[in-house]
């Protein structure tokens, strides 16, 4: 294990922890449910990407690397679907969002 | 038939990655489970371009890194908003320009995967998206991601 | 160093747990629990390295999928109050 790779992996894990913490704080701070969805998205994406990349750098080339990549892929495939399902269920339930102004459209 | 072969190969490669023990008996269990899975997938009628979109794999080589970079940028943006509390949530109603349902799902998933934008509804080609700030919503409505996904979809 | 990483993840998990306890709507709770599941996956992966047993990665992989299916099961239960029956067609 080279020193540079080690340092790089700890930078990745530290960054991942930072973004996970941001997600956690956002989950507490944001005023309504839909805004909290975005905060949850931070942990789901960059938080896990960085922490798992840090672990990948610790691993080196072996079978566990493939496992870590698969965990990351599964997370990236499932988390938006789950997030969408929760937001859609809340919307269908009739949960109102705190929004200002009119809707933005592409027209 | 091509889809079946590629599904079988992919499943077996996955199995080999997971197993780590390559004796004859264990590997033959692997072969048996791959055959069982392919048979089940056939019975469920999901070995088609939607259930096994192998033709999009190549296109993802350029789309993946771009999406990753967008995710990084959006994460930094949302993290700043978490710290500063500068949010102005709004709804965005846009049309998904993709031709196939699979393309639209990829587009909606990409939107949700990017923090700051969450697809709340996808009916037909109409998307209802909740964004954390008006600027983010206007950026989304300009459609840079939509044209990327259309290009990805067109490469089959 | 892996100790620091796992403690950091535990802190994040406790933040999500606070949101799950506070609510106010059931969807906030589901979102928080789903988020905690994601962090649990990361925790399991880091713990595997902490204890020098990377076999834990297999558990993490399964946990991702269980977390996904579990979220859907809870959402369905909240909406229909029943897991056994198929959902009624859209628009009812």
Chain segment B78-119, per-residue pLDDT in tens: 888 888 888 888 888 888 888 888 888 888 888 888 888 888
d(CA A1, nearest CA chain B) in Å: 22
The pair of three-digit structure tokens given for residue B13, joined into one six-digit string: 């490669």
Alpha-carbon span C73 to C82, nearest angstrom: 10
Residue of A nearest to C22 (CA): A28
| Statement: residue B153 has pLDDT above 80 | no
In a domain, residue A99? The reply is no
Q: Please report which helix (H) or strand (E) contains residue B39, including its range.
A: helix B24-43
- Give yes or no for B109 touching A (CB within 8 A): yes
Domain that holds residue A85: 3-93
In a domain, residue A86? The reply is yes
pLDDT of residue B156: 45
Tens-digit pLDDT profile for residues B128-142? 888 888 888 888 888
Query: ipTM of the assembly?
Result: 0.85
- Give yes or no for A22 touching C (CB within 8 A): no
Res. B150 pLDDT band, cuts 50 70 90: confident
How many structural domains compose chain A?
Answer: 1
The pair of three-digit structure tokens given for residue A28, joined into one six-digit string: 């507490």
Alpha-carbon span A42 to A38, nearest angstrom: 7
Rounded mean pLDDT, A12-38:
87
In a domain, residue A61? The reply is yes
pLDDT > 70: percent of chain C: 92
Q: Please report which helix (H) or strand (E) contains residue B129, including its range.
A: strand B126-131
Whether C40 and C13 have beta carbons less than 8 Å apart is answered as: yes
Please state, in angstroms and as integers, the Cα–Cα distance from residue B40 to each residue in B36, B45, B112, following that order.
6, 9, 31
- Give yes or no for A5 touching C (CB within 8 A): no
Q: What phi and psi, each to the nearest 5 degrees, are found at residue A98?
A: -80, 100
Residues 6+ apart with CB under 8 A from B11: B34, B37, B38
Alpha-carbon span B131 to B91, nearest angstrom: 6
Q: What phi and psi, each to the nearest 5 degrees, are found at residue B122?
A: -135, 100
Query: Is C68 in Cβ contact with A78 (below 8 Å)?
Result: yes
End-to-end CA distance of chain B: 17
Nearest to A80 among B85, B89, B109 (CB): B109
In a domain, residue A100? The reply is no
DSSP string, A6-44: HHHHHHHHHHHHHHHHHHHHHHHH-SSHHHHHHHHHHII
DSSP string, A38-101: HHHHHIIIIIHHHHHHHHHHHH-SSHHHHHHHHHHHHHHHHHHHHHHHHHHHHHHHTPPP---S
- Give yes or no for A59 touching B (CB within 8 A): no
pLDDT of residue C1: 79
> Is C78 or B154 the better-scoring residue by pLDDT?
C78
In a domain, residue A18? The reply is yes
- The domain spans of chain C are 2-80
CB atoms within 10 A of CB A90: 24
pLDDT of residue A89: 87
pLDDT of residue B121: 86
| Statement: residue A1 has pLDDT above 70 | no
**Nearest-10 crossing angle of helices A33-42, C26-50:** 10
In a domain, residue A102? The reply is no
Q: Please report which helix (H) or strand (E) contains residue B128, including its range.
A: strand B126-131
């Amino acid at each position: 294990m080279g020193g540079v790779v080690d340092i790089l992996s700890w930078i990745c894990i530290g960054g991942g922890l930072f973004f996970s913490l941001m997600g956690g704080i956002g989950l507490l701070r944001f005023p309504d449910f839909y805004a909290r969805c975005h905060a949850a998205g931070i942990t789901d994406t960059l938080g896990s990407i960085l922490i798992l990349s840090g672990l990948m750098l610790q691993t080196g080339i072996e079978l566990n690397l493939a496992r870590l990549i698969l965990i990351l892929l599964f997370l990236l495939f499932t988390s938006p679907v789950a997030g969408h399902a929760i937001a859609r269920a809340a919307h269908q339930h009739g949960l109102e969002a705190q929004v200002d102004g009119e809707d933005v459209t592409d027209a | 038939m091509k889809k079946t072969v590629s599904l079988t190969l992919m499943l077996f490669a996955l199995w080999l990655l997971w197993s780590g023990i390559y004796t004859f008996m264990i590997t033959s269990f692997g072969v048996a489970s791959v055959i069982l899975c392919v048979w089940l997938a056939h019975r469920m009628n999901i070995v088609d371009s939607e259930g096994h979109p192998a033709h999009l794999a190549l296109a993802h080589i350029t789309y993946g890194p771009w999406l990753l970079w967008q995710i990084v940028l959006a994460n930094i943006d949302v993290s700043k908003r978490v710290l500063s509390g500068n949010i102005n949530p709004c709804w965005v109603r846009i049309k998904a320009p993709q031709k196939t349902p699979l393309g639209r799902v990829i587009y909606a998933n990409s939107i949700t995967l990017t923090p700051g934008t969450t697809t709340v509804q996808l009916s037909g080609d109409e998307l209802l998206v909740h964004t954390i700030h008006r600027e983010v919503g206007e950026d989304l409505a300009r459609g840079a991601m939509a044209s990327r996904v259309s290009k990805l979809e067109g490469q089959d | 160093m892996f100790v620091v990483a796992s403690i950091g993840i535990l802190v994040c998990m406790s933040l999500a747990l606070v949101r799950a306890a506070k609510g106010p709507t059931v969807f906030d709770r589901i979102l928080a629990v789903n988020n905690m599941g994601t962090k649990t996956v990361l925790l399991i992966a880091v713990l595997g390295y902490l204890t020098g047993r990377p076999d834990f990665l297999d558990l993490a992989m399964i946990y991702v999928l269980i977390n996904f299916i579990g979220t859907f099961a809870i959402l369905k239960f909240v909406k229909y109050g029943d897991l056994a029956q198929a959902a009624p067609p859209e628009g009812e």
